[in-house]
């Protein structure tokens, strides 16, 4: 009974870690440490980005559980808190009920209010446009691009669209306003706006973790995450390309400007 509780808890915390941007070795090592702390000697933990399998052997009896992971929440605050929780658990080995309560507490913490989130997307596009050498007016034009990206990402998340389509749409929709503004004679540098806003779509967690996973020897994971990075990148590229081409076709009057 206790072993099963432990197994369930390990799978849950492993899934939560993975969804919030932990590397594979962190997921595997955290589970392994918790199991060791609770005195399980004969264990196997296997994780890839879409699945975790945990096995505990007691005598001749095996307890196995696997969890399928589909979505990513990318919440770095939760990653920090879950990591701290793992350390606490390994140090104090409190009863499982206590662990489950604390895990539920961490997971129930609210995200930023929607307005703050939108503002963060807008301002990130704003500052990255300045960073990439845009002028102040370009940055102002990039601000709504950030808002469009946030809106597209959250609506596509709601209808569970795949990453390729989500990024294609986000890339296309965010590239349209600066290109149209330019065509309508507003003197902005549309390239800089698009580059600035594009930074929001770059799969930063996947890129960073693909490097760290390769080093830890998780080549299978590295290949999976690399595929994700490439598909997201391809989606953004196709989206932006569609927007540029569409504007050139629809408004050929000022051809050669963009």
Partner 1 sequence: MLKTFLPCLWAFLACLTFCFVFELRRWRFILAASFTGAMGWLVYLLPDNWGSVARFLTATVVVAVLSEIFARILKTPATIFLIIGIIPMVPGGGIYYTLEALINGDMPLFVQRGMETAASAGAIAVGCSLVSSVARIIALLRRERENRQNRDAI
What residue ranges bind partner 1 (CB under 8 A)?
21-23, 26, 74-80, 83-84, 111-112, 116-117, 119-121, 123-124, 126-128, 130-133, 191, 194-196, 198-200, 202, 204-205, 207-209, 211-212, 214-216, 233, 237, 240-241, 244-245
Minimum Å gap between C-beta 124 and partner 1 is 4
- For partner 1, which is the closer residue by CB, 6 or 232? 232
CA distance 247 to 258: 9
Q: 118: number of CA atoms within 13 Å, CB side?
A: 9
In angstroms, give the least distance from the CB of 167 to partner 1: 13
What is the C-alpha separation between 141 and 136, in angstroms, rounded? 9
What's the min distance (Å) between Cβ of 86 and partner 1?
10
Query: Do residues 239 and 167 make contact, with C-beta atoms less than 8 angstroms apart?
Result: yes
Q: At closest approach, how far in Å is the CB of 2 from partner 1? A: 27
Give, in order, the Cα–Cα distances in Å from 220 to each of 39, 196, 248.
Answer: 30, 32, 42
Q: How far is the CB of 70 from partner 1 (least distance, A)?
A: 19
Q: How far is CA 24 from the centre of its chain?
A: 14
Which DSSP symbol is given to 59?
A: T
Q: How far is the CB of 74 from partner 1 (least distance, A)?
A: 6
Q: DSSP characters for 19-47? A: HTT--HHHHHHHHHHHHHHTT--EEEEEE
Q: Which residue has the tokens 């391809």?
A: 234
Least gap, CB of 208 to partner 1 (angstroms): 5
Q: Is 118 helix (H, G, I), strand (E, B) or coil?
A: helix
User: In terms of Cα–Cα distance, which of 138, 117, 119, 114 is closest to 128?
Assistant: 138
The pairing of strands 61-68 and 42-48 is unpaired
DSSP H or E stretch at residue 55: strand 51-58
């Amino acid at each position: 009974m206790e072993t099963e509780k432990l197994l369930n808890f390990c799978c849950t915390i492993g899934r939560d870690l993975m969804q919030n941007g932990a590397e594979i070795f962190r997921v595997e090592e955290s589970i392994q440490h918790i199991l060791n702390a609770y005195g399980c000697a004969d264990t196997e933990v296997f994780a890839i980005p879409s699945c975790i399998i945990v096995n505990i052997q007691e005598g001749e009896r095996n307890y196995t559980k696997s969890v399928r992971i589909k979505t990513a929440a990318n919440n770095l605050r939760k990653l920090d808190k879950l990591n701290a929780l793992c350390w606490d658990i390994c140090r104090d080995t409190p009863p499982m009920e206590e662990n489950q309560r604390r895990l539920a507490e961490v997971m129930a913490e609210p995200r930023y209010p929607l307005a703050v989130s939108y503002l963060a997307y807008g301002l990130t596009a704003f500052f990255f446009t300045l960073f990439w050498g845009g002028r102040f007016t370009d940055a102002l034009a990039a601000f709504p691009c950030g808002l469009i990206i946030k809106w597209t990402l959250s609506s596509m998340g709601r209808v569970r669209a795949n990453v390729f389509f989500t990024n294609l749409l986000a890339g296309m929709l965010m590239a349209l306003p600066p290109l149209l503004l330019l065509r309508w004679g507003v003197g902005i540098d549309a390239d800089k706006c698009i580059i600035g806003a594009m930074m929001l779509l770059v799969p930063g967690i996947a890129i960073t973790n693909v490097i760290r996973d390769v080093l830890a020897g998780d080549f299978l994971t590295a290949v999976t995450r690399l595929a994700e990075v490439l598909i997201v990148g391809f989606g953004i590229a196709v989206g932006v390309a569609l927007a540029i081409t569409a504007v050139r076709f629809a408004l050929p009057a000022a051809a050669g400007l963009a």
